[in-house]
């Protein structure tokens, strides 16, 4: 499913679209994941049924969309009933405390996820992190040491890229037909057309259908 804002959000109200853009939320699916709410609950903003949501849900949405809760209610709930609005200052304070608690919870969860991701990545690259500095030192102090002796240390990196579904565009030294969607010419000002033969000097990478880096190429030398 394409997660780009301009595709999935064609049917969104303009106010919601602007809030999502400002908060860097690319889709309703992403909004659902960040708030912890169901897709059906999140969709109520789009369909004008936000009054059906609980205050806790509205608090979550206001935090992620970076908008004051009162403003969110005003923008997405037309003529809220008296039963929907807080009845007194005590209820208002309770709602404020609940929103504050949810905000702290979201921050804590983000920190925990970041820490977990870092720990898992370190574990994946453990042998590389521990052994590569020594291998580099050995190569610097022993000119006879072959570079290929270091290659096995890069295996964990290859496995990690594979786990993240990151694939290389070509291989260093490989010949290819120039494709401006995948290749970037190293020589500035050189004339090149799609299909011209080039040599890959630095590989590029994709992740699924997303382009991360174009492969950097040089024009193939004619004999």
Q: Encode pLDDT of 54-70 as tens digits.
A: 777 888 888 888 888 77
Alpha carbon distance 62, 69 (integer Å): 5
Alpha carbon distance 25, 20 (integer Å): 5
**What is the domain range of residue 68?**
5-120
What CATH number does the domain containing 221 carry?
2.30.22
* 108 and 178 assigned to the same domain: no
Banded model confidence at residue 199, pLDDT cuts 50, 70, 90? very high
**What is the DSSP annotation of 22-48?**
HTT---HHHHHHHHT--HHHHHHHHHT
**pLDDT score, position 85:** 54
Q: How many domains, the chain?
A: 2
In a domain, 194, yes or no: yes
Handedness of CA 116, 121, 123, 129 (dihedral sign): negative
Q: What percent of the chain has pLDDT over 70?
A: 85
Task: Show which of 62, 87, 120 is a domain's final residue.
Answer: 120
**Residue 59: CB partners within 8 Å, gap ≥ 6?**
69, 95, 98, 99, 102
pLDDT winner (highest mean) among 23-27, 132-136, 198-202: 198-202
Task: Specify the length of the chain in residues.
Answer: 223
Strands 215-219 and 183-185: parallel
> Which residues face 216 on adjacent strands?
184, 202
pLDDT at 120 over 80: yes
* 16 and 74 assigned to the same domain: yes
In a domain, 144, yes or no: no
In a domain, 71, yes or no: yes
In a domain, 41, yes or no: yes
Q: Are 72 and 62 in contact (CB under 8 A)?
A: yes
In a domain, 150, yes or no: no
Alpha carbon distance 2, 24 (integer Å): 16
* 92 and 178 assigned to the same domain: no
* 9 and 101 assigned to the same domain: yes
**pLDDT score, position 80:** 56
* 86 and 175 assigned to the same domain: no
* 93 and 27 assigned to the same domain: yes
In a domain, 129, yes or no: no
Banded model confidence at residue 5, pLDDT cuts 50, 70, 90? very low
* 48 and 108 assigned to the same domain: yes
Handedness of CA 194, 199, 201, 207 (dihedral sign): positive
* 25 and 85 assigned to the same domain: yes
pLDDT in tens, 72-101: 877 777 665 554 555 556 766 676 677 777
- Find the mean pLDDT for residues 136-157: 82
* 207 and 111 assigned to the same domain: no
* 178 and 94 assigned to the same domain: no
**pLDDT score, position 196:** 92
**pLDDT score, position 81:** 54
pTM over 0.75: no
* 116 and 10 assigned to the same domain: yes
- Find the mean pLDDT for residues 147-171: 87
Q: Are 27 and 10 in contact (CB under 8 A)?
A: no
């Amino acid at each position: 499913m394409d997660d780009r804002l301009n595709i999935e959000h064609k049917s969104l109200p303009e106010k919601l679209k602007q809030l999502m853009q400002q908060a860097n939320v690319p889709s309703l699916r992403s909004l659902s994941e960040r708030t912890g709410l169901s897709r059906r609950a999140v969709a109520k903003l789009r369909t004008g049924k936000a009054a059906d949501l609980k205050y806790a849900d509205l608090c979550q949405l206001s935090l992620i969309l970076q908008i004051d809760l009162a403003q969110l209610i005003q923008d997405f709930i037309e003529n809220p009933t008296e039963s929907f609005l807080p009845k007194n200052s005590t209820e208002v304070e309770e709602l404020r405390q609940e929103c504050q608690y949810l905000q702290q919870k979201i921050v804590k969860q983000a920190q925990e996820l970041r820490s977990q991701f870092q720990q898992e990545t370190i574990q994946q690259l453990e042998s590389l992190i521990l052994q590569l500095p020594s291998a580099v030192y050995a190569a610097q102090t022993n000119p006879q040491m072959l570079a290929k002796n270091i290659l096995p240390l890069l295996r964990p990196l290859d496995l990690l890229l594979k786990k993240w579904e990151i694939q290389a565009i070509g291989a260093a030294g490989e010949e290819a037909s120039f494709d401006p969607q995948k290749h970037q010419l190293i020589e500035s000002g050189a004339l090149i057309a799609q299909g011209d033969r080039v040599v890959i000097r630095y590989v590029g990478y994709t992740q699924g259908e997303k382009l991360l880096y174009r492969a950097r190429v040089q024009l193939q030398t004619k004999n």
